[in-house]
Structure 1
Amino acid sequence: MKARYITPAVTVMGKDGTIDFEGCGKVYEHLIEGGVDGILLLGSIGEFFALTMEQKKDLIRFAVDKIAHRTQLIVGTTSMVFEELLALSRFAGEEGADAIILLPPYYFPLSPEGLETYYARIAEALPEQSIYLYNFPDRTGYDLTPEITLRLVRKYRNIVGYKDTQAGMDHTRELIKLVKGEFPAFEVYSGFDDNFAHNVLAGGDGCIAGLSNLVPGLCHAWTEAFAREDLVEAAAIQQKIDLLMEIYQVGTPFIPYIKEAMAIKGIIGSAASSLPFPEADPGDSEKIRGILKKAGLL
C-alpha cells in the first residue's frame, strides 16, 4: 500500500518572537534525513497566523533555498485578506514552492455556496499552481464538505488534494469514498497522526501531521511498513504513536508542547512560540519527558 507522511513544520522562534532561521534550517534537515515525503511550511503548527507578510516571504524564500527540492514543499498561504492570499500564493510559486494549502475563511462562516465560490475564485486566479484544501472545523467553525470538494475538483484540476484535521475518521472516510472514487489521483490526508493507518486502509494517502516533527524516522518507517504490507510492524508503530499523542494533551494550544518535546530531544534549541501562547513550565516538561520515556525515546 502506498502511503505518504508530510510534516507541517514548526517555525523555530527566539524568545523575542523573531524567526530563528538557523533553527528552522536544522528542522528541515532533520525531517529530510528522517525520510518524510514532504514539508508543509506555514501551517497551523507553523504559526502562520502570528507572522507578518514580510516574515512569511522571508521564511518561504529561505525554505525553498534550504530544502532545494529534496522533498515536496507545500506552503500555507491562508489570509483573511483575499489579495494578500493571492499575492503570497503567487510569491510562493515564483520562489519555487511545489504547492499551496489554504484554510477556508474563519471568524464568520460562509454558506456552502459561498465557500464553493471562494475556492473557485482562488483556483481561477491561480491556474498554474497546485492547490490543497485544508479543513480544520475546530479552528474555522464550519466544514468543507466532501460534496463541495467534489464539485470543485470536477471543475478545477489544479485542486489536487485535501488535509482533513478532525479527531475521527468518519468525515475523512466519506471524502475518500466520494472524491477519490471519481478522482483516484486526488490526495486525501488526515491531520492527526493516530489516524494515519485508518486513512491508508480506507484508501487515503496518509498524514500531514505534527508528531513527525519529533519522530520523522518513525513516521517514515510507518509508510514503509504499509508498502511491505507488514501489518505487525504497522501495529507496533501505531501503538508508539498512540503514546506520543499524549503530548497534544499536555496543554492548550498544543504547539508549545510539541516544541518542548523537540527541545528535550535536542532537535531545536528554543521551544519559544509566538505570543500569547504559553511556555511549557517545569511540570509540563516533566510530563513530556514521561511520555517520551514511555515511548522509548529517552
Structure 2
Amino acid sequence: MKGIFSALLVPFDENGTIKEQGLREMIRQNIDKQKVDGLYVNGSSGENFMMTTEQKKDVFRIASEENNGQVKLIAQVGSINLHEAVDLGKYATELGYDSLSAVTPFYYPFSFEEIKYYYETIINETNNKMIIYAIPALTGVSMSLHQFDDLFQNEKVIGVKFTDGNFYLLERLRKKYSNKLIYSGFDEMLIYGAISGVDGAIGSTFNINGKRAKQILSLCQEGNVSKAYDIQHVTNDLIEEILDLGLYQTLKEILKMTGIDAGVCKEPFEAFNPDKLEKVRKLVSTFDL
C-alpha cells in the first residue's frame, strides 16, 4: 500500500454522464504510462461530491474491472450522508478494494465524537480497512495529535491521507506511528512530505505527472534531496500553469491531446476556455505521456 497513488479523474459528457471508455483509458494511462502504484478512486479529483450514488458505484466497478488486480485500489467513500458512505463502503469491499478511505464529515460543525462515530460505523459495517482523509482547507475539520491518537487506536484505521500544510503535526504523527501509513496529499509539497518520511502520496496531477512524483519520493528515500528538489521545482512550475488555466479542466484537456476521451467537468464547474488551448499544447510536451 506504499508509493504513488493517482487521485483518479473521471470523464463526463456535457450532460454529466460518465464516459466509460474514457474512464478506462484514464486508468490505463495511470497504470501503463505513469506506472503508479495505486489508484485513489472517487476522491475530490473525480468530482465525487457532485455524483449520484449510482455514478459513484459505476466508477468503483469500472476501476476494479479495468485494474484487474494490477495495482492497489483505495475507495474514497466519505459522504455527509453516513448511510451512503456505508453503502458505498460495502460495495467497494465486495469489489475487493484494498482499503476504504473517507473524508471527514463536513459543512456542519461536527464534534470529534461525531466524527469518530462516523469512521467507526463505516469500519464496523464494512469490516474493511480505513484511511482517514484529512483535508482541513476544504472540510473545516482540523484534528489534533490527540484526536488522531484516538482514531488510530482502531487497528482497522491503517493510515491517513494528510492534505494539510501542518508539517509539525505530520512529523509528530510519523514519529509516533511508524506502523501507520501516511500519504502526502499536496502534490506541490510532496518533497516536504517525503523528507518527513511519508509512505507515499495521493494526488490529482499524478494522472499526468506520476513519473516525476515517483522520482521525488524515491530520491528522498535514497537521501538525494538535492536532485529531488530539482524535480519538485519543475513540477511546481507546471502545477502553477495548470492551476492558472483551471485544475481539473486542464488535466482533462492535456489527456485529450494524447487521444484519451477525457470529457469535461461536471457542472457547476465552468467549461474549459478554448482560447487557452495553445497554452495547453505547450504544456503537453513537458509531460511523459
Same fold (TM over 0.5): yes
Is residue 260 of structure 1 aligned with residue 259 of structure 2? no
Q: Residue 193 of structure 1 aligns with which residue? A: 187
Matching residue's letter, 1:259? K
Separation in 1 of the partners of 2:287 and 2:50? 34
Task: Quickly say closer, same or farther: Cα 1:129–1:267, change in 2 above 3 A.
Answer: farther
Cα distance in 2 for partners of 1:267, 1:159 equals 39
Tell me the amino acid that sits aligned with residue 216 of structure 2. W
Change (3 A) 1:41 1:8: same
Q: Deviations over 1:55-81 (max 9, x none)?
A: 221221121111012111011112222
Q: Secondary structure at the match of 1:106?
A: coil
CA pair 275-112 structure 1, distance change in 2 beyond 3 A: same
Distance 1:3 1:125, change over 3 A: closer
Task: Say yes or no: does 1:279 pair with 2:278.
Answer: no
Cα distance 1:202–1:267, how it changes in 2: closer, same or farther (>3 A)? Answer: farther
Matched residue, 2:211: 217
8 Å Cα contact 2:19-2:263 kept in structure 1: no
Structure 2 spans left out of the alignment, 5+ residues: none
Task: Indicate how the Cα distance of structure 1 residues 271 and 54 shifts in structure 2: closer, same or farther if over 3 A, else same.
Answer: closer
Amino acid at match of 1:112: F
Give the conservation status (yes or no) of the 8 Å contact 1:14–1:270: no
Alpha-carbon distance between aligned partners in 2 of 1:59 and 1:291, rounded to the nearest angstrom: 28
Instruction: Judge conservation of contact 2:25–2:261 (CA < 8 Å) in 1.
Output: no
Worse overlay, 227-236 or 42-51? 227-236
The alignment yields a C-alpha RMSD, in angstroms, of 2.3
Q: Distance in 1 between matches of 2:199 and 2:167?
A: 11
Tell me how far apart the structure 1 counterparts of residues 280 and 140 of structure 2 sit (CA, whole Å). Answer: 30
Aligned positions, number: 288
1:174 correspondence with 2:172: no
Q: Does 1:46 align with 2:46?
A: yes
Distance in 2 separating the partners of 1:180 and 1:232: 22
Q: 1:44 to 1:150 in 2, by over 3 A?
A: same
Q: What is the aligned-residue identity percentage? A: 25
- For 1:69 and 1:81, locate their aligned partners in 2 and report how far apart those are by CA, in whole Å: 30
1:80-91 → structure 2 map (5 Å cutoff): 80-91=80-91
Bigger shift: residues 67-76 or 12-21: 12-21
- TM (norm. structure 1) is 0.87
Contact residue 12 and residue 23 of structure 1 kept, 8 A: yes
1:7·1:38 contact (CA, 8 Å) conserved in 2? yes
Return the alpha-carbon distance in structure 1 between the equivalents of residues 147 and 284 of structure 2: 40
* Whole-angstrom CA distance in 2 between matches of 1:157 and 1:292: 43
TM-score of the superposed pair, with normalisation by structure 2: 0.90
The match for 1:203 among 197, 200, 204 is: 197
1:251 Cα deviation after fit: 5.0
1:138 aligns with 2:137: yes
- Structure 1 residues 173 and 30: alpha-carbon distance in aligned structure 2, compared to 1, 3 A threshold: farther
Q: Structure 2 CA distance, aligned partners of 1:297 and 1:283? A: 24
Kept in 1, the 8 Å contact 2:21–2:261? The answer is: no
Kept in 2, the 8 Å contact 1:8–1:45? The answer is: yes
Structure 1 residue 232 displacement after superposition: 4.2
| Residues 25, 132 of structure 1: alpha-carbon distance in 2 compared, 3 angstrom cutoff | same
**Does residue 125 of the first structure (1) align with residue 128 of the second (2)?**
no
